[in-house]
Amino acid sequence: MNFTWITDPYYQEYLWTGFFNTLALVGVSGTLGLVLAVIFALLQLNGPKPVAWFVRGITTVVRGTPLLVQLFFFYDGVGRLLPEIPGIRESLFWPMLRDPFFYGALTFTLSVGAYSGEVIRGALLSVPSGELAAGRAFGLSRWQILYRLWLPRAIQLCLPTLTGEMILLLKSVPLVSTIAMMDLLKAANLVRDETFLVYEPLLLIAGIYIAMTLVLTTAMRIIEQRFPGVQPAKAQRRLLPG
């Protein structure tokens, strides 16, 4: 085992870039994905029938196909058709549409939206209807019922499951190395190519991922404790895919 390359600032720069890109991707798609998940859940429950069916379809397709295929579909499939739209090269969005980060964030946001959307939909359905009736009896508006009662109660019920979803998101990030984005795995692969080491760089980032999983689990547990009324889940279940 040879780990002397870790002290080389040249390789350190790869690894730091990969690390921060990984964090940025988790941050962006985690936040946007959870917002999308709430929207998906509400549209399926309360939206007009055609919209609800449409969302149901998206959710089924996203959950039924491999994330890697979705990533290639958006990056290579959709990404290569885009230049054929007239005027798009001159538009403001073009630099973004050429960046693999954008496609990674798009795919992961959609994925979090679909998987967590199902979790949130289930939680919304489990809120006792008497509580919502109580809200109406107090004269709350529909909007007030939603953001004061229904959503907070649903999040209480599913927060531990959402923790699991966030860990799954973190563990999906290495996939973007296949579309030439500089994440931790890509950084490790570059180090491997240049130092001719077969697996030492991979072991290092496996260690980093274990540390990140632990930090994320701890952070989510603190959020769970601060969120009033959350039932703590068994710690064992957290790493299990939902």
CA distances from 229 to 29, 37, 226 (A): 27, 22, 9
Cα 120 to Cα 161: distance, rounded to the nearest angstrom: 9
Return the half-sphere exposure (C-beta side, CA atoms, 13 A cut-off) of residue 69: 6
Nearer to other proteins, 200 or 224 (CB): 200
- The whole-angstrom separation of Cα 43 and Cα 60 is 15
With binding defined as CB under 8 A, does residue 78 bind other proteins? yes
Q: Under the criterion CB under 8 A, does residue 174 sit at the interface with other proteins?
A: yes
Contacts of 97 (CB under 8 A, 6+ apart): 79, 82, 88
Distance CA 201, CA 190 (A): 9
Verify binding: residue 61, other proteins, rule CB under 8 A.
yes
| Nearer Cβ to other proteins (113/174) | 174
- Supply φ then ψ for residue 209, to 5 degrees: -65, -40
Contacts (Cβ under 8 Å, ≥6 apart) of 48: none
CB of 68 to other proteins, least distance (A): 5
Q: Does 226 bind other proteins (CB under 8 A)?
A: no
Q: Give least dist CB 58 to other proteins, A.
A: 12
Interface with other proteins, residue 239, by CB under 8 A: yes
Q: Which stretch binds other proteins (CB under 8 A): 36-44, 89-97, 203-211, 223-231?
A: 203-211
Two structure tokens written together for 1: 């085992």
Q: Does 213 bind other proteins (CB under 8 A)?
A: yes
- Count of chain residues binding other proteins (CB under 8 A): 41
Residue range at the interface with other proteins (CB under 8 A); choices 47-55, 91-99, 146-154, 168-176: 168-176
Minimum Å gap between C-beta 81 and other proteins is 6
Find the binder of other proteins among 58, 68, 140, 230 (CB under 8 A): 68
Q: Note whether 185 binds other proteins by CB under 8 A.
A: yes
181 near other proteins (CB under 8 A): no
Taking the complex as a whole, the smallest distance from the CB of residue 201 to other proteins amounts, in Å, to 10
CA atoms within 13 A on the CB side of 123: 25
Alpha helices (H) along 65-141: 67-72, 79-81, 94-97, 100-126, 129-137
CA dihedral 95, 97, 98, 100 (to 10 degrees): 120
> For residues 115 and 150, which CB has a smaller minimum distance to other proteins in the complex?
115
End-to-end CA distance of the chain: 36
Residue whose token pair is 């209480």: 156
Q: Which is nearer to other proteins, 3 or 227 (CB)?
A: 3
Point out which residues bind other proteins (CB under 8 A).
60-61, 63-70, 72-73, 76-78, 80-81, 170-175, 177-178, 185, 198-199, 202-203, 205-206, 209-210, 213-214, 236-237, 239-241
